[in-house]
Structure 1
């Protein structure tokens, strides 16, 4: 008697985790007249949520240098950028076509020494200096919020 053929079920395939795209961000900080740490938040251009200046790494620039350039372009601030990241956070970036891509953002402290009168994205975003604990409540990314709660003096 011939043996019955075993049905060969196709193995279930798991979707490979999406590789996170790398971004860099500056965390502009200053001391208020009362000696409290303040951070500069800007709004994103599309969703208008509160964020810190960030963007993609730049060819020929170190990551912290690219972060400083983003702060100048998006928020009109200059200063001394730290070359070691304070930390990282993850978020989902909404693409124009509706897709989302996962990003991991390295955050570099920028001790602000100058606020420019004119810069590349002036008028495209709102900006506000706030105490770090208030900034932590305003941003939507949980890991960024935790990072803001842990920062020390510039």
Structure 2
């Protein structure tokens, strides 16, 4: 009973009004199977998708593509509509949150050398493994949603 209560409970932490970030949900389709590219966060080492602040004079999806290149070393076709959004900690102590819009990025090139290669790991995973590795259920939900959307289109 307590476990169920805690799974739905969230401390009241306010988001900064109007502040949003954008991120990429890198994927590829190999032999008819969708695979997702996960990276580790610099702060905690948990598996996540690339994200960051929206750069001035850039659209959110352009910023998401830049984050994917810098953090994961991949480039490709970025969607102009997000697959969804989630809330993430914007501070080390978790006292402030930010909403992140996640844009699907169909990976076309994977670089051998990229900006944050010494600070992060990257890993390709099919959906069941991605769901197991992603600590944040909202990220898992967005990966499931993307896979379902891709299957519906094919």
- Give the TM-score, by structure 1 length: 0.81
Matched, 1:31 2:29: yes
Question: Does structure 2 retain, via aligned residues, the 8 Å contact 1:28–1:39?
Answer: yes
Aligned equivalent of 1:40, options 33, 37, 43 = 37
Query: RMSD in angstroms over aligned alpha carbons?
Result: 1.9
Match of 1:22 in 2: 20
Distance 1:18 1:110 in 2: 26
Q: CA deviation at 1:18?
A: 4.0
Match of 1:81 in 2: 78
More helix by share: 2
Matched, 1:148 2:146: no
Match of 1:137 in 2: 132
Q: CA deviation at 1:143?
A: 1.5
Distance 2:70 2:85 in 1: 21
* 5+ long unaligned stretches in structure 2: 1-11
Residues 116 and 146 of structure 1: is their aligned pair in 2 closer, same or farther, counting only changes over 3 Å?
same
Over alpha carbons, which structure has the higher Rg? 1
Residues 69 and 16 of structure 1: is their aligned pair in 2 closer, same or farther, counting only changes over 3 Å?
closer
* 5+ long unaligned stretches in structure 1: 1-14
> How many residues were matched structurally?
137
